[in-house]
């Protein structure tokens, strides 16, 4: 039996078919979806937004993901690696401006040097902020022991996008070798959860070959895995990547934005108390993309506090916004944007995932 959107939105649990109907909703039906997700956000999270000061500390990467501008094989880019002092200065900026948390992100390197370096930085960040600055890591796939050492050093959230939960699609957008193994990515996510991190994942939306069924499967995976945080955004092509040859197969950018907003609304309804990021890539498509996401369900924003001179080199996709701004510009711009979405930035709090607390209390 085909249900109307109104009937689907009354259900406690969505089936794959229900999710596909929601993803395909248009006009008044889509408005009903957004209304419901906004209500749920208001009830479970409040009209609030927390900042994670984003430090993109290195674009050096050992991986060759076919969609990503900082992939190892891209020779058209200047590689950089911030010094420890530069990273600590950015963390201090976040602390002094009362951001509750920072997020450290980089290309992916597995090495004892990187393990020790990040561990040491974590201790120093905790020290400079008297333990007050929360830290999210997003540095890719690592061994269980490495994740554990970083957790013990003070990182308490980890973002590792699964990119797509359809293994066949995953294999189409990654090289076919042991360094880009779908099952290893799942294993890493499980390690993070078992160690005790607030565990975040997400997917790119609007990839070549991706179907509505794939996206519905992604949302069901997130629910089943019991994630604490979600960071998903539109796929945006990058001219210096192999996936560019499929750009003729893509839906228009405006549709990718629309679909991302629907994905955010649906996951907010399915997982009421998780943290959801309004990804920067939304703004690459629509200047108001992130505000729209905040209105319908997102509650986390990541102002970029990477020193300005490096930002241009962390181009994951074309037209990445805000690469000319300073950290101060980013903060005031985001604050104005949050108030446009009728929400309020909460300073001086970690803004942890409520879902994590509930999950751990069980």
The footprint of ligand SAM (CB under 6 A) covers 67-68, 70, 105, 107-108, 138-140, 160-161, 163, 204, 233, 235-236, 238, 281, 316-317
Minimal distance, residue 18 CB to ligand SAM, in Å: 26
- The full DSSP string for 125-194 is HHHHTTT-SEEEEE-----HHHHHHHHHTT--EEE---B-S-HHHHHHSS-SSGGG-HHHHHHHHHHHHH
Q: Tell me the helices (H) and strands (E) count for the chain, helix number first.
A: 15, 11
Backbone angles phi, psi at 361, to 5 degrees: -75, -15
Q: What does the block give as tokens for 268? A: 């907010």
| Nearer to ligand SAM among residue 68 and residue 345 (C-beta) | 68
CA 337 – CA 147 distance, rounded (Å): 34
CA 186 – CA 223 distance, rounded (Å): 14
Is residue 301 within 8 A of residue 278, CB to CB? The reply is: yes
Minimal distance, residue 242 CB to ligand SAM, in Å: 11
Minimal distance, residue 246 CB to ligand SAM, in Å: 12
| Nearer to ligand SAM among residue 163 and residue 291 (C-beta) | 163
- Phi and psi based region of residue 75 (left: phi greater than 0; alpha: psi -120 to 50; beta: remaining): alpha
* Cα–Cα distance list, 96 to 128, 132, 242, 293 (Å): 10, 11, 42, 27
Minimal distance, residue 204 CB to ligand SAM, in Å: 5
| Nearer to ligand SAM among residue 45 and residue 137 (C-beta) | 137
Q: Report the Cα 57 to chain-centroid distance in Å.
A: 16
| Nearer to ligand SAM among residue 261 and residue 281 (C-beta) | 281
Minimal distance, residue 241 CB to ligand SAM, in Å: 7
Minimal distance, residue 279 CB to ligand SAM, in Å: 8
| Nearer to ligand SAM among residue 114 and residue 316 (C-beta) | 316
| Nearer to ligand SAM among residue 9 and residue 207 (C-beta) | 207
Minimal distance, residue 116 CB to ligand SAM, in Å: 18
Q: What does the block give as tokens for 99? A: 């951001």
* Cα–Cα distance list, 352 to 58, 74, 106, 116, 346 (Å): 26, 36, 22, 26, 12
Minimal distance, residue 235 CB to ligand SAM, in Å: 5
What single DSSP character describes residue 304?
A: B
Minimal distance, residue 192 CB to ligand SAM, in Å: 11
Is residue 41 within 8 A of residue 297, CB to CB? The reply is: yes
Summarize the chain as % helix, strand, coil (round to 5): 50, 15, 40
Compute and round to an integer the Cα radius of gyration of the chain.
19
| Nearer to ligand SAM among residue 45 and residue 91 (C-beta) | 91
Minimal distance, residue 176 CB to ligand SAM, in Å: 18
| Nearer to ligand SAM among residue 237 and residue 352 (C-beta) | 237
Q: What does the block give as tokens for 20? A: 């596909």
| Nearer to ligand SAM among residue 63 and residue 295 (C-beta) | 63
| Nearer to ligand SAM among residue 25 and residue 217 (C-beta) | 217
């Amino acid at each position: 039996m085909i249900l109307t959107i109104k009937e689907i939105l009354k259900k406690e649990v969505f089936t794959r078919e229900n999710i596909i109907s929601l993803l395909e909703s248009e006009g008044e039906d889509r408005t009903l979806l957004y209304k419901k997700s906004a209500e749920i956000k208001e009830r479970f999270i409040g009209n609030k937004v927390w900042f994670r000061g984003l430090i993109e500390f290195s674009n050096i990467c050992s991986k060759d993901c076919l969609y990503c501008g900082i992939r190892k094989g891209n020779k058209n880019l200047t590689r950089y690696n911030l010094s420890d002092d530069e990273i600590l200065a950015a963390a201090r900026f976040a602390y002094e401006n009362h951001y509750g948390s920072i997020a450290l992100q980089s290309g992916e390197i597995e090495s004892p040097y990187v393990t020790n370096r990040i561990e040491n930085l974590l201790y120093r960040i905790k020290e400079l902020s008297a333990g007050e600055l929360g830290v999210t890591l997003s540095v890719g796939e690592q061994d269980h022991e490495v994740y554990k050492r970083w957790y013990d050093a003070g990182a308490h959230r980890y973002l590792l996008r699964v990119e797509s939960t359809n293994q066949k699609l995953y294999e189409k957008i990654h090289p076919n070798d042991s360094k880009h193994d779908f099952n290893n990515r799942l294993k890493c996510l499980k390690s993070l959860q078992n160690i005790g991190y607030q565990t975040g994942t997400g997917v790119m939306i609007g990839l070549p070959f991706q179907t509505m069924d794939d996206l519905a499967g992604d949302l069901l995976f997130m629910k089943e895995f019991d994630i604490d945080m979600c960071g998903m955004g539109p796929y945006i092509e990058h001219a210096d990547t192999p996936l560019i040859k499929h750009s003729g197969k893509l839906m228009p950018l405006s549709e990718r934005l629309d679909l991302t907003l629907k994905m955010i609304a649906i996951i907010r309804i399915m997982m009421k108390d998780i943290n959801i990021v309004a990804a920067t890539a939304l703004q690459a498509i629509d200047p108001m993309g992130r505000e729209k996401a905040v209105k319908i369900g997102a509650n986390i924003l990541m102002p970029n506090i990477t020193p300005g001179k490096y930002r241009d080199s962390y181009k994951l996709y074309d037209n990445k916004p805000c690469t000319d701004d300073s950290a101060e510009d980013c903060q005031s711009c985001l604050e104005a944007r949050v108030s446009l979405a009728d929400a309020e930035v909460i300073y001086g709090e970690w803004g942890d995932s409520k879902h994590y607390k509930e999950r751990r209390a069980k």
